[in-house]
Amino acid sequence: MRVRAEELGCSLRPHLKTCKTVEAGVIATGGTRRRVTVSTIAEAKFFADAGFDDILYAVPLTADKVDDVEKLHAGLAQFHVMIDHAEQAAALIARLSRPEVREQMLARPLSVFVGVDCGYHRDGCDPNDPSSVALVHMLAESGVTTLAGIYTHGGHSYDAANAAEIVRIAEQERDVTVGFATKLRSIGLNVPRAGVGSTPTCSLAPSHLDGIDEMHPGNFLYYDMTQVALGTCAGAATGYGGFPEHPELRISNLKQECGEVSTADGAPLEYARYPIGSLLAIAPHHSCAATHQHQHVYVVAEPTDRTIIDTWRICKGW
C-alpha cells in the first residue's frame, strides 16, 4: 500500500485501528513510527507511548476528550484531531482559550483536520454547505487552533455492489476533497493537506490522486473476508469469515465461542476429513473487530507452519 501511495503521488497515513499493535504499526510506517491514524484516545496514547508521532485522532472530537487531547498535543511533535461541526469547534476553541492555557495554545496551536462528507453520510461536514467554509474559517483563524487540512473517509465503499462502484467512490472521495480544498484556497485559506481513504477505495484506487496529499486505509494491514467479498483482495468469499486451507467449508453461524460449520456448496459434511479435535485456521470476516476480541497477536513462521515466533500486545480500551 505504501508503494501504491507513492505511485499515486501521496503519503500513506495508515489507520492503526485495525492492527492495534506497535509491531504492525512499525511495519505499516516503514519503520518511521510517523504519520498514523487512530480512532480512539486509548490508541493515541498507546502509540504515543511507543514512540509514534504525527498521530491523527480521526473521529469527530467531543468535549469530554479535550483533557486527553491537550496532553497528547503537549507530548508529541504533531498531534491532530478531527472536527466536522461548528458546535464542536466552538467548544474546543473555548476550552483552549481559557486564561490558564491561552498563551501557550496561541504559541503552539492545536492542529485540526476538518472532516468532509464525500457521500458516506456518517460524519464529515457537507462541502456544499456555506457553513462548512465558515467552520474551516473558525478553526483556521481562532489562534488556538491551526488547520492541518481536510480529511474524508469513503466508508460507503463497504456497501458497494462491485469493483467498478468502489472505483467510482474512490473518484468521488478524490473529487469532493480536491474540490473543497480548491474552494477553501480560493478564499485565501491555507489547506496544508487533503486526505482520502478507506481500504476498498485505496485497494481499487482511481487512475490518479492529483491534488491529494495522503491516504489513510487501515484494514489492508490484514485484509479479511469482507475485503475478499468486495473483491479488493484475493480469496473465496464466505459469510462469517472463512477457512483459507479449506475453501470447501464455510462458517454458517457464530455464537460467542462456538461456530457452526457447513460446506460451501451445501453438500453433506465429510466428517472423516475433519476429525474431532481438528484445528482449522479461520480468516476473520472483519479484521478490526476480530483484533479487538483478543489480547495478543501470535505471529507464526509461515501460514502453514504454526510455530509461534512472536507475540504482539493489542491496545485495549477506548
CB of 303 or CB of 318, closer to its own copies: 318
Helix axis angle, 86-96 relative to 99-107, nearest 10°? 100
Q: Which of 276, 303, 304, 307 binds its own copies (CB under 8 A)?
A: 276
For position 292 contacting its own copies by CB under 8 A, the verdict is yes
Single-letter amino acid code for the residue at 68? D
For position 122 contacting its own copies by CB under 8 A, the verdict is yes
Single-letter amino acid code for the residue at 190? N
Minimum distance, C-beta of residue 57 to its own copies, in the bound complex (Å): 11
Single-letter amino acid code for the residue at 314? I
For position 289 contacting its own copies by CB under 8 A, the verdict is yes
User: Which three three-digit cell numbers place residue 61?
Assistant: 472530537
Instruction: Convert residues 68-97 into a mask of x (bound to its own copies by CB under 8 A) and - (unbound).
Output: -----------------x-xx--x------
Q: Are 125 and 115 in contact (CB under 8 A)?
A: yes
Minimum distance, C-beta of residue 318 to its own copies, in the bound complex (Å): 7
Backbone phi, then psi, for 92, in 5-degree steps? -65, -45
CB of 106 or CB of 300, closer to its own copies: 300
* 203 Cβ contact partners less than 8 Å away, ≥ 6 residues apart: 1, 166, 217, 220, 227, 232, 233
At which residue does the C-alpha cell 496551536 appear? 109
- Which among 162-170, 189-197, 228-236, 249-257 is the span making contact with its own copies, rule CB under 8 A? 249-257
CB of 108 or CB of 296, closer to its own copies: 296
For position 64 contacting its own copies by CB under 8 A, the verdict is yes
Q: Which of 31, 188, 268, 277 binds its own copies (CB under 8 A)?
A: 277
Helices (H) and strands (E) in the chain, counts: 11, 12
User: How far apart are the C-alpha atoms of 74 and 72, rounded to whole Å?
Assistant: 5
Backbone phi, then psi, for 225, in 5-degree steps? -70, -20
- Which among 107-115, 143-151, 238-246, 269-277 is the span making contact with its own copies, rule CB under 8 A? 269-277
Minimum distance, C-beta of residue 249 to its own copies, in the bound complex (Å): 16
